[in-house]
Chains A and B, each alone.
Chain A
Amino acid sequence: MSDVVLAVHAGVICLLLTGVESVLASPFGNSDVTRRQQGILTGMPFMAHVSARAYVDDAGRRMYFAQPPARIVSLAPSITEMLFAIEAGEQLIGVTDFCDYPPEALKKSKVGYSNPNLESLLALQPDLVVTPDDFLKPDVIAKLEQLKIPVFIFTDINVEGIFAHIQTLGRIVGRSSKADAVAMKLRREVTAIQQRVQGMPPVRMLYVLNSQPLITVGPGSFIDQLIGMAGGVNVAAKSTTPYPRLSMETVLQEDPEVLVFPVGKTEGISESEQQLWRRWSTMTAVRQGRLHQISADQLNRPGPRIAQGLESLARILHPDSSMGVELNSNVNRR
Chain B
Amino acid sequence: MTGLASSWTHAGTVLTIHRWVTVIGTLLAASVAVFALCLQFGATSVGLGTVARGIMHIVRGGEAESAGLETSEIIMVQIRFPRVLLGFLVGSSLAAVGVTLQALLRNPLADPYVLGVSSGSAVGVSVAMLIGIGSTFMLLPMLPLFGFAGGLLALLLIYRLAQSQGRLPIHSLLLAGVILNAILTAFIMFITSIMEPNRSAGLMAWLMGSLTAPGYPALIVFLLYALLVLAMLMHKAQSLNMLTLGEETACSLGLETEGIKKRLFALTALLTGAIVSVSGMIGFVGMVIPHAVRLVIGSDHRLLLPASALVGGMFLAVADTIARTIMAPAEIPVGIVTALTGGPFFLYLLLWRKDRMV
**A239 at interface by CB-CB < 8 Å:** yes
Residues of A contacting B74 in the complex (Cβ-Cβ under 8 angstroms): 252, 280, 282
* Bound: A61/B121 CA distance, A: 46
Give Cα A266–Cα B196 distance, bound, in whole angstroms: 6
Q: Is there contact, CB below 8 Å, between A243 and B201? A: yes
A243 to B196, CA, bound (A): 16
Q: Quick one: which of A135, A244, A253, A276 contacts B71, CB cutoff 8 A?
A: A253
Which of A38-46, A48-56, A184-192, A209-217 forms contacts with chain B?
A: A209-217
The answer to whether A276 touches B328 (Cβ under 8 A) is no
Distance in angstroms from A272 CB to nearest chain B CB is 4
- Chain A residues contacting B70 (CB-CB under 8 Å) are 282
Could you tell me if A98 and B196 are in contact, using CB atoms closer than 8 angstroms?
yes
Does A148 interact with chain B (Cβ within 8 Å)?
no
A180–B79 Cα gap in the complex (Å)?
51
For the complex, is B329 an interface residue (Cβ under 8 Å from A)?
yes
| Residues from 248 to 281 in A contacting B, C-beta threshold 8 Å | 248-250, 252-253, 255, 266-267, 270-273, 275-276, 279-280
Residues of B within 8 A of A (CB): 42-44, 46, 67, 70-71, 74-75, 78-80, 132-136, 142-143, 193, 196-199, 201-202, 205-206, 210, 212, 215, 324, 327-333
Residues of B within 8 A of A218 (CB): 330
Is A194 among interface residues, defined by CB-CB distance under 8 A?
Answer: no
Q: How far is the CB of B137 from chain A (nearest CB, A)?
A: 9
Q: Are A114 and B197 in contact (CB under 8 A)?
A: yes
Partner of A246, one of B79, B132, B215, B329: B329
- A288: Cβ under 8 A from any B Cβ: no
Would you give the 0/1 interface string for A186-225, flagging 1 where the beta carbon is closer than 8 Å to chain B?
0000000000000000000000011111110010000000
Q: Beyond A252-B71, A280-B74, is A247–B329 a contact (Cβ under 8 Å)?
A: yes
B196 touches A267 (CB 8 A): yes
Which residues of chain A are within 8 angstroms of B333 by Cβ–Cβ distance? Answer: 245
Cβ of A266 and Cβ of B46 under 8 Å apart? no
Contact (Cβ within 8 A) A247 B330: yes
Contact between chains at A300 and B135 (CB < 8 Å) = no
List 25 interface pairs A-B (beta carbons < 8 Å), by A numbering: A114-B197, A135-B197, A212-B206, A212-B212, A213-B210, A214-B212, A218-B330, A236-B329, A236-B330, A243-B201, A244-B330, A245-B210, A246-B329, A247-B324, A247-B329, A247-B330, A249-B75, A249-B80, A250-B43, A253-B71, A270-B134, A272-B142, A275-B136, A282-B71, A300-B198
- Select one of A209, A240, A249, A270 contacting B135, CB under 8 A: A270
Q: In the assembled complex, which residues on chain B have CB atoms less than 8 Å from the CB atom of A213?
A: 202, 205-206, 210, 212, 331
Min CB distance B280 to A, Å, is 9
Interfacial chain A residues near B324, Cβ < 8 Å: 247, 249
Q: Which one of A241, A270, A296 contacts B330 once the chains associate, using CB atoms below 8 Å? A: A241
Taking a contact as CB atoms under 8 Å apart, the answer to whether B329 and A239 are in contact is: yes
Measured between beta carbons, the chain B residues less than 8 angstroms from A296 are 198
